[in-house]
Each structure stands twice: as C-alpha cells, then as structure tokens.
Structure 1
Amino acid sequence: MIRRLFPDAPPPVPDADWAAIRHHLPWVHALDDTRAARLRTLAARFLHRKTITPVAGLVLDERGRLLLATLCCLPLLEFGDEGLHGWSQLIVYPDAFRVNRSHVDAAGVMHEWDDELIGEAWESGPLVLSWADIQSDIAEPDGGFCVAVHEMAHKLDALDGVLDGTPPLPRPWQRAWAQDFQRAFDGFVARVDAGHDTALDPYAAEAPEEFFAVCSEYHFSAPTLLRDALPEVAAHLERFYGRSPLA
C-alpha cells in the first residue's frame, strides 16, 4: 500500500490560473514574489478545505473560485492558514442579498425587519459574499472597500471565541491592541455622533468588531488614508497583516 507523506496537501494552483489572478487583482499584482507565493499556497489550501457554493443562479468557473479564495486569504499573509479554522463554506450571491432580522426589546416586543447585505460572516457558520460587490472592489482597489477582507476580519476576530474587534494575539500585544483600538473607536464614535465628517466609513462606529473590520479594509485598499486618520490602528494592522500591497 502506498502512503502519502502529506495526505492533506492541496493540489497546487496551475501556473496559468495564478498568472491570470495576479494580473486581474491589483492587490496581488502589487505583492513581491515571496508574499505572492505565500498567498498562492494559502489560496490552494482554501480551495482544498472550503466548499464554495454559488447561489441564486450564479455560476463560477475555476478562476472565479480561485479569485475568491485569493481575496479571502489576503488577510492571512502573516497570520497563516490557522485563519481558515472554524468554518467550512463560502456562499456567493450574484448581488446584494436580503436577510430577515428579529429583536425582542426590553418591553418584550418582537421587532422584525429585512437587511440588504453585501457580505456576512457567521461566527461558527459560513462566510457569505456578493459577487457583484467583489467585482466593484476590484474595479476600484484604492477606494477604501474590500468586502472579502471585511468578512475575513470577522472570521479572524471570532477565532478566540469572542467577536470584539481583537483577534488572537500574544498577550502583551493583545493588551496594547485592545487599549489603542478602544481609544480610537471611542474617538471615532464621538465624531460620528457629533455629526462630523470622517475619513473612514461611518459604519465603523457600529461596534468594535465593525471598527476592526472596516479598518482592515482600509489597510488593504487605502492605507495612507488609514495611517493619516488613525496612526496607532494602522501600525497594529501593518504588524498583523503585513505591509499593505498598496502602501
């Protein structure tokens, strides 16, 4: 009987497919060869471990699936494939999708409403993305938005069991991260609540975990803007994600 030394090793990404992805994705095109090779390995592992499920009539070819895997792995360049733990499926809609929400208020009254989303990350379930918004992000790579990075930031955040804007980190760094992010978040919320214009998307004021995810988007898509607006946050994210390809 023949035994493989690495039974879980994924098949490599074909050269032609990877060349096409590097050409098509500005963030990948801007990477040096060492980091690009690391991303290629991560994308292969993503494709090997995750089920990518297009829904609502969307059809994805192999390069479309590789594109999604590569974008989702951008935030893992320094963290590694440990960031793929805890979930198994990527669901892709052709466009923004609607979800039903419900909430029971303090008086015991049930409130229900529909949200239109372009991405969602369940703490212990699938990651969900809009294909149209992925394409929009690619068309404007320095616009401050990258929905795949945003939702993967939530997945990293959830790895320690608490969705609070702080991913798993060594203890001293975790303390410094929590202090600096909380201070920056509080200041950002105060500016939004006061009606002031903000350099970053005001959605970052929704919660600490959204602040981390939105800032992660800016790290990859508008790093200079992030550094000018929130230098301490930008420094932590550069250490966590590595230097932004667009820096």
Structure 2
Amino acid sequence: MDMPPVSGWIFVIVIGAILATVIYSVLVYPLLRKRKALALPLSDEWRSIIESSVPYYPRFTSEEQYHIERLIKYFLVEKVFFGCGGLVITDEIRVTIAAQASLLVLHKASDAYPKLHYILVYPSGFSVERDQVGAGGVVESRRMHMLGESWHNGKIILSWEDVRKDAHESGTGHNVVLHEFAHQLDSETGAANGTPLLPNKDYQRWANVLDTELSALRYAASLQIDSVMDKYGATNEAEFFAVATETFFGKPYQLAQRHGELFQILVKYYQFDPRQWQDEPLYEPIDDNAADRA
C-alpha cells in the first residue's frame, strides 16, 4: 500500500497540534484555572477584608457566604491588577474590589465578567482628556476628573481612595466599584445602553421602566428637585443603570418606596432583594412629587 507523502504527514501533525492547542486553550486551561482559584485558601486576613468591604456579609446565608468567597477567589485568579500613579497593589486593594464586584453577580449563574481582564487602580481620582461638542458644534478637548471608568476593551480604572471610602460608607448610595462593574454588565450585550442581558420576555418591560424613570430623573435634575438617585444618572441610559445599581444596593428601602417598579426589575435582574441584609433606615415617609410621576 502506498504511504502518504511526507508533506501529508506534516500537514496532519500540524493540524492535530493546532486542534490540541485550541481544545486546551478553550476547554482545559480555563477549567484548570478555575480549579486553582477555588483551591486557594481564604485566610483570616482576606475574610476580614471582605467583612469590611461588604458590611452586610455577616448577614448572608451560609450558602451566600460560600458562593461569594468562591467568586472572589476566581476573580482574583482571572483578573490582573495594575497599580498606577505610584500605587502598590496590595491584598486589601485586590480583595476589596473583588468582593464588591462579586456582590453584583452573587446570584447570577454566569461567569463573573468574562470580558474583563485588567483593573487599573490609581491612588485617588485621575484626569483624562475628553473631546466634547461645544457651542456652535465646535469640538473641544477638556480635562475631566474621574473616580472610575469602564472600558469596552476589557479594562476598568478605579480610584482606590474612593473605593475604600465607599466600602466604609455603604448607606450613601454611592459606590464607584458597583457603578463601574454595572457598566461591565451593561456592556455584555455589546453596547452600554442601560439594558443588560435579559430573558427575551423581560426586554419590553425593562425598556418601559427605563424610559419612564430616566425621564423622571431628568425632570427632577432640571428643577433641582431632591431625588434618592444621584442626578448623574440623568446623563444617559448607561449612567442611569449604573446609578440605579448603586442606589439599589446602598439605599434599597428608599428606592423601593420612591421607585417601586424600577426596584422590582432590579430585584429580578440581580435575583435578590438587598433589603434582607439591611435594617430599614429611620427616615420620614416621602411625599412623592411631580418629578416622581413624570
């Protein structure tokens, strides 16, 4: 029987090597990394950081505590941290950010932020150049002060000073980690437009609530009317979702009282009600105004 030419065998070997590499990279290596992550011991120091950065961690069920610890360990193996502006990355920085980011996906079945690879951390707020359209349609370059920024190419930038501050002031409704990682969830559809991945049957209701609530917030902002949500959320749909997420975790009782339908779609999306972890704050009942009904 005639043997295939040597060039034929070389071709078969090369194709086999390529297939083996692809299979290892796509199937085997991620599994090994995940096993490595979950095998990491959770030290007392790390647990102390988690309790400090997620104040209601002690109120989690044992199942929730177990799950968030697994998410944190996997996050720390998968994501690469870079210190910027002279900042040295420490376990406190890594675990604090990982714990708060994992809070958003605590009850979600998918892997945590599969498109995110790099987290850049500055000591404090940082400045960036942005082109903005000014009067008469003239494009002007302006320097903007930022506390955090989420990019579509697998990066998040954070101010450590503000991350730490927000971690210890959980009831303010402001949290830069939750805000920027909400943008990452929003971007999983391919575009940050205020609508994350949802079951098909939920998109219409989400769009209706988003439109109504964004219009109400813009109306309140235009008249300088107090709102439970930060008025930065009136910027656009993407910022509205990020600010709504901050408020959902930081002021769940107030959000549920003032914006019940928005609160309910967030409960359905995040698959839990954060009021179960927090005591109801002592505040006077709010008399809804025209802005909330717009």
Structure 1 residue 81 displacement after superposition: 4.5
Query: TM-score, with normalisation over the residues of structure 1?
Result: 0.91
Structure 1: tracts of 5 or more residues without a match: none
**Residue 140 of structure 1, CA deviation:** 1.1
The one-letter code of the counterpart of 1:14 is L
Question: Residue 234 of structure 1 corresponds to which residue in structure 2?
Answer: 263
Higher helix share: 2
CA shift digits 1:39-82 (9 cap, x unpaired): 11111111111101111111232233112111111111122453
Question: How far has the Cα of 1:160 moved from its partner?
Answer: 0.4
| Paired amino acid for 1:7 | L
Tell me the C-alpha RMSD between the 2 structures. Answer: 2.1
Report the counterpart of residue 7 of structure 2 in structure 1. Answer: none
Cα displacement string for residues 95-144 of structure 1 (whole angstroms, at most 9, x for unaligned residues): 01101001356966330101101111012231111110011112211111
Question: How far 1:18 sits from its partner (Å)?
Answer: 3.8
Q: In the alignment, what sits opposite 2:33? A: 8
Match of 1:67 in 2: 96
The answer to whether the 8 Å contact 2:50/2:96 transfers is: no
Question: Contact conserved, 1:144 with 1:218, CA < 8 A, in 2?
Answer: yes
**Larger RCO of the pair (alpha carbons < 8 Å, separation 6+):** 1
C-alpha distance 232-168 of structure 1, shift in aligned 2 (>3 A): same
* Number of the residue aligned with 1:161: 190
The corresponding residue for 2:132 is: 103
The SS at the match of 2:170 is: coil
Contact 2:131 2:139 in 1 (8 A): yes
Whole-Å separation in 2 of the counterparts to 1:27 and 1:124 = 32
Is contact 1:149–1:213 with CA below 8 Å preserved after alignment? yes
Aligned to 1:243: 273
Partners in 2 of 1:59 and 1:28 — Cα distance?
27
1:20 corresponding residue in structure 2: 48
Determine if the alignment matches structure 1 residue 215 to structure 2 residue 240. no
Q: For residues 185 and 197 of structure 2, what CA distance do their matches in structure 1 show?
A: 8
Q: Are residues 22 and 50 of structure 1, via their aligned partners in 2, closer, same or farther at CA, if it must alter by over 3 Å?
A: closer
Q: Which amino acid aligns with 1:88?
A: H
> Residues 108 and 184 of structure 1: is their aligned pair in 2 closer, same or farther, counting only changes over 3 Å?
closer
DSSP 3-state at the match of 2:89: coil
State the 1:5 CA deviation.
11
Find the residue that maps to 2:45 and give its secondary structure: helix
Aligned-pair identity (%): 27
Contact 1:137 1:146 in 2 (8 A): yes
After superposition, the C-alpha distances for 1:144-172 in whole angstroms (9 at most, x for unaligned) are: 11110100100000000121111001011
Please tell me whether the aligned partners of residues 49 and 96 of structure 2 are also in contact (alpha carbons under 8 angstroms): yes
- Determine whether 1:127 maps to 2:156: yes
Aligned residues: 245
Aligned partners of 1:81, 1:57: CA distance in 2, in Å?
Answer: 35
CA contact (8 A) 2:233 2:244 kept: yes
Using the TM superposition, give the Cα deviation of residue 213 of structure 1 relative to its aligned residue in structure 2, in angstroms.
0.5
Structure of larger gyration radius: 2
Alignment partner of 2:170 out of 117, 137, 141: 141
| Kept in 2: contact 1:145–1:218 (CA 8 A) | yes
Uncovered stretches (5+) of structure 2, i.e. residues with no partner: 1-27, 280-294
TM-score, length of structure 2 as denominator length: 0.77
Aligned to 2:226: 197
Structure-2 separation of matches of 1:188 and 1:68? 29
